Amino acid sequence: MEKFFVLFLAPLAALDEWSKTDPVLRKSAEVKMEEEWRMWMQQNASTVGETAGAGKTKRVTLEGITDVRNEVMLYSQVQARSHEEAAALFTNHPHLQIPGSSIEVMKVLPLPTMG
C-alpha cells in the first residue's frame, strides 16, 4: 500500500458567498453534508487515516510572517494500491457539493535521510 496526502479545496469566493446564505438554510445544508461525510468516512474507514480541518493560515517568507487566506479547508491521509485508486475514492465525495470545490490527491514521497 502507498500513502497519499489529500487536500480538500474550496474557492474563497464560494465560501464568502455561502456565509451570506440565510442561517436556517445554511445550517440545514451543513447538517446534511456532515451526515454524508460521516457515511463516507465509515465506508472508507479502512483506507482513510487522519482527517482534520485547516485553520487560519500564516505565510512565512524571507520578508516575514503574514496572515493569509487560501482554499485549503481540510486534509486527509489515505492508503491505496495506486495513485489512481486513491483518487477514485473521492469521485463522489460530499465535499464536491461546494460550488467550484476540488480534491487534490498527492502521493507521499519519502525523503532520503538528511544528514
| In a domain? residue 114 | no
Report yes or no on 113 lying in a domain. Answer: no
* pLDDT, position 98: 92
pLDDT of 114 > 80? The answer is no
Please tell me the distance from the alpha carbon of residue 48 to that of residue 4, in angstroms, as a whole number.
Answer: 10
pTM above 0.95?
A: no
Return the biggest CA–CA distance within the chain.
56
CATH number where 84 lies:
3.30.70.1060
Judge whether 88 lies within some domain.
yes
Query: Do 96 and 8 form a contact (C-beta atoms < 8 A)?
Result: no
Domain that holds residue 53: 2-107
How many domains does the structure of the chain reveal?
A: 1
- Quote the pLDDT of residue 115: 57
Query: Is residue 98 a part of any domain in this protein?
Result: yes
pLDDT digits (tens, 9 = 90+) for 12-46: 999 999 999 999 999 999 999 999 999 999 999 99
For residue 78, being part of any structural domain is answered with yes
pLDDT digits (tens, 9 = 90+) for 49-105: 999 999 999 999 999 999 999 999 999 999 999 999 999 999 999 999 999 999 999
